[in-house]
Structure 1
């Protein structure tokens, strides 16, 4: 008798949707599971030596701790929120088929795009930098919270618009009519992808999750996250990356921006899929050699002050 797999998830509407998607997929392959919503880290002692690899994922830490303590078997994440280095003992078990990777602008009318004045909301350094790169006269204000909270804050404030990941709004069916695709904005590495992690020693859960893997999505997000990992060096920075497979080739577009959007160092490459393994690393090294190393140091200094 196979075990009932306990699926750890945050309790936001989007996180619950993602967890139920995994639960349904497991049921279709004959595996029983149950959802275990995990609350915030407030009552957990994170000073204990649970981490050995400097994990900083604000959205994943609570679930990592629950897995390490044996309270859940697997955890479901928006992959773009997951640090490129997982805690010791936790491994990637499956990347599901990727949804839309696009950023969108939810707006209150787009006439402001023709003007020098505009106020846009986002909590993302990447989105802020790219918006200011394109619209340097605009003001970008900070926006935090889950997607429902952010949508409400947009309505409650005098902003012209706010930037969201299309996938999140589509998944919980709150994508409004008043939006435009930001096709010029390079998405976050792995945006639109869902990652399921498990304990390395949990062979039963890992075997069940192996049936949910989507190979093309997995290849693309690994290239993007390798690009991020090599560039970042443990620092949050305005980094965009997108890999797509077409005609047996993988096409990559990545960029590093300054915090104020005035500088952009980008790279584009296309190679056969068979050569994808180190593509992200090579592209990151090209950015670093073209001024990215100095720019990353400037970003780290600015963020630490």
Structure 2
């Protein structure tokens, strides 16, 4: 009797399908029969509403996780930065492939412009409070306006002249073959990416031996260790995917794992930030230990109070440039 195809679940956006196609191609190369199953998520269906208003963390992954639990799919492919740090019982992240560009990027309507060279009053599009805070921290003289939608939708609005520039995750443009649209890469220490940004999460049922064996070769151990540290830091800060927290972990020249994290607070157009950078202490410290230690240093410097103030609707509910909530993070 022929083995049933391994069913890979994905969101239906162009980027999600491209990412899942990459996974499927490699599994087929290893003689695994696969079928791609599209699953709609609440985050995709409600493009005109700030994310926190209809569910907050996990709005791009919950339906995929339920499809796994129900046995409708065998593997789910996520953008790791959308996956809550609290594991769903019965499921596990079995593989994290080699990371793509982990940083945010600026895309402008006029070639050659950077964040610093934008004219005063220029309009920049993003709905991520983490990005808004960092943009205004660098350029308090520009205007930041909300922008949701898939990558192609956002680029169309930029090209239509609705914005002078937009901020996107560089990995999305890289995977879609659109690196030529990148005007500037925004990276630490000036601009911190989301936890897990640029990485994929390959999720399966914890007890599914066939799926585990199939996807394990996709795992890149250095990437997996790095995102474990980032996610442990986020979990220890109790921030969630929507919090104004940035982090980036990577290997150093000496082979150690390093982690930097940034906590942001924005009240109106006034931005405060805390940054901590640490290396692993010794070979016995796990990525999770490094993440927890960085979080503890941040808390010792007041990060918990900053995050609590950002959760206060009176402090965070109004977009700095008028009228629209920005506390719901977009996913590209």
Measured in 2, the distance between the counterparts of 1:212 and 1:192 equals 15
Counterpart in 2 of 1:256? 263
Give runs of aligned pairs for residues 10-29 of structure 1, distance below 5 A: 10-29=11-30
When residues 263 and 281 of structure 1 are mapped into structure 2, their CA distance, relative to the original with a 3 A threshold, is same
**Of residues 256, 259, 270 in structure 1, which corresponds to 2:279?**
270
Residue pair 1:78, 1:195 contacting (<8 A) in 2 also = yes
Residue pair 1:14, 1:168 contacting (<8 A) in 2 also = yes
Counterpart in 1 of 2:133? 129
- Offset at residue 6 of structure 1 (A): 0.2
Measured in 2, the distance between the counterparts of 1:234 and 1:158 equals 31
**What are the ranges of 5 or more consecutive residues in structure 1 without an aligned counterpart?**
43-53
CA RMSD of superposed structures (Å): 2.3
TM-score by length of 2: 0.82
Residue pair 2:32, 2:214 contacting (<8 A) in 1 also = yes
- Offset at residue 87 of structure 1 (A): 2.0
1:75-97: CA deviations, max 9, x gaps?
00111111111322111111011
Measured in 2, the distance between the counterparts of 1:244 and 1:191 equals 12
- Offset at residue 111 of structure 1 (A): 7.5
- Offset at residue 176 of structure 1 (A): 3.3
1:35-59: CA deviations, max 9, x gaps?
11113459xxxxxxxxxxx983111
Give runs of aligned pairs for residues 104-183 of structure 1, distance below 5 A: 104-109=105-110, 110=113, 113-114=116-117, 115-177=119-181, 179-183=183-187
When residues 256 and 160 of structure 1 are mapped into structure 2, their CA distance, relative to the original with a 3 A threshold, is same
**Of residues 195, 210, 235 in structure 2, which corresponds to 1:204?**
210
1:106-144: CA deviations, max 9, x gaps?
012328834432211112111111111111222111110
When residues 209 and 251 of structure 1 are mapped into structure 2, their CA distance, relative to the original with a 3 A threshold, is same
Residue pair 1:104, 1:164 contacting (<8 A) in 2 also = yes
When residues 199 and 140 of structure 1 are mapped into structure 2, their CA distance, relative to the original with a 3 A threshold, is same
Question: Does 2:297 correspond to 1:296?
Answer: no
Runs (4+) off by over 4 Å: none
Residue pair 1:106, 1:180 contacting (<8 A) in 2 also = yes
1:185-234: CA deviations, max 9, x gaps?
11111111011101112121112211211100000011011111111344
Measured in 2, the distance between the counterparts of 1:242 and 1:213 equals 19
Residue pair 1:250, 1:276 contacting (<8 A) in 2 also = no
**What are the ranges of 5 or more consecutive residues in structure 2 without an aligned counterpart?**
44-54, 319-332
**Of residues 288, 293, 297 in structure 2, which corresponds to 1:282?**
293
When residues 237 and 177 of structure 1 are mapped into structure 2, their CA distance, relative to the original with a 3 A threshold, is closer
Residue pair 1:10, 1:37 contacting (<8 A) in 2 also = yes
Counterpart in 1 of 2:97? 96
TM-score by length of 1: 0.89
1:151-176: CA deviations, max 9, x gaps?
11212244220001111011111333
Residue pair 1:245, 1:273 contacting (<8 A) in 2 also = no
Counterpart in 1 of 2:322? none
When residues 234 and 106 of structure 1 are mapped into structure 2, their CA distance, relative to the original with a 3 A threshold, is closer
Give runs of aligned pairs for residues 228-243 of structure 1, distance below 5 A: 228-234=234-240, 236-243=242-249
- Offset at residue 304 of structure 1 (A): 7.3
When residues 140 and 304 of structure 1 are mapped into structure 2, their CA distance, relative to the original with a 3 A threshold, is closer
The count of aligned residue pairs is 295
User: Matched residue of 1:86: which SS?
Assistant: coil
Counterpart in 2 of 1:34? 35
